[in-house]
Amino acid sequence: MLIHDAIALFIEGYFSTCKRSDKTKAAYTTDLAQFRLRFNEDRDLDSIRADELEEWARALTDEGYAAVSVRRKFASLKVFFGYWVRKGVVASSPLWRIRLDLAREQKLPRNIPLADATRLLQAAWVRMSSERCNTKVQRDAPFLASRNLAALEILFATGMRVGELVSLRLSDWNEDEQSIHVKGKGGRHRLAFLTDQRSLAALAEYLPRRRKVLCGHESLFVNLAGGPLSTQGVARVLTGLAAEAGITMRLTPHMVRHTVATLLLRNGADIRVVQEVLGHSSIAMTQRYTHVSKEHLRETLQMRHPSHHMAIDRQAGAHSL
């Protein structure tokens, strides 16, 4: 089978039987398109050799691709070749005969300082209050202010991914339980709870306005055109509110998620609970945040430990021994 036929049939067949997100499908499509360009689309799939794939990995690294990106591309290839091994098209996968020795990047998640997070939320509430009271503003302004406030409060209350936020439907909100049904990565579902009065008040402010929007779909968060709010739209909201709050750091929605995780651990939440809140498939993913909390623990001990406040003359003590 030729490479270009194998890729087209794989995309059609694999994603029709395996439940994967559109984002995952797009990533596989991109990775396999690069593979096709590298190895000539008219070449037989079973002619691909392990040493050629190793050379491609080195070339990607030389071109400046991060180790995590190279690993992802080869993970896509592993699934791709495994699919055709199961179909009997190729006898074995060339990836079984290679090992990628790529150093894992230990990047700590970037957080929003607590003072900046407080100012950000305050800016959203101030905007909501001013638009509610000002009768001269455009008709759309109160809707946008309430939508932005509700989106931001839900992100901070639940730590959900921005993609999960924009995928929420009106029916996902359970008012009796004060919970949100979240459809997470890999088809995993979980409940996110709004446990503070502020986020509940923000959602209560927004929902009546949203239900007046007749747009032919059930997305919880919508844009002014009536379509579902995009992840880029949420990012722009965050940037605008940060500017109003006088925050110079570049903020992203994912930083809100990191901040929630860090603060939960810092305030004593069990790591298994944090794993469930964030929707991590593995506890190892949640453990990344313990590094940040360890730094906080060290700083707290340095400032608060009794030994730093005991006026002991160590030199005098040494003479008495």
By annotation, the residues acting in catalysis are: 161, 185, 254, 257, 280, 289
- Separation between Cα atoms, residue 241 and residue 127, nearest integer Å: 9
Structure tokens at 132: 């509610």
The CA distance from 309 to 321, in Å, is: 23
Q: Which helix (H) or strand (E) holds 170?
A: none
Please report the DSSP string for 187-229 in residue order: G-EEEEE--SHHHHHHHHHHHHHHHT---SS-BSSB-TTSSBP
3-state helix, strand, coil in the chain (%, to 5): 65, 5, 30
- Return the amino acid letter for 120: L
Burial 23-41 (b: 16+ CB within 10 A, else e): eeeebbeebbeebbebbeb
**Alpha carbon distance 272, 270 (integer Å):** 5
Burial 71-110 (b: 16+ CB within 10 A, else e): ebbbebbebbbebbeeeeebeebbbeebeeebeeeeeeee
- DSSP bridge pairs for 191: 181
Number of H helices, E strands in the chain: 14, 3
DSSP character string of 70-118 = HHHHHHHHHHHHHHHHHTTSSSS-GGGG-----PPP-PPPP---HHHHH
CB 155 within 8 A of CB 257: yes
Q: Which helix (H) or strand (E) holds 147?
A: helix 140-158
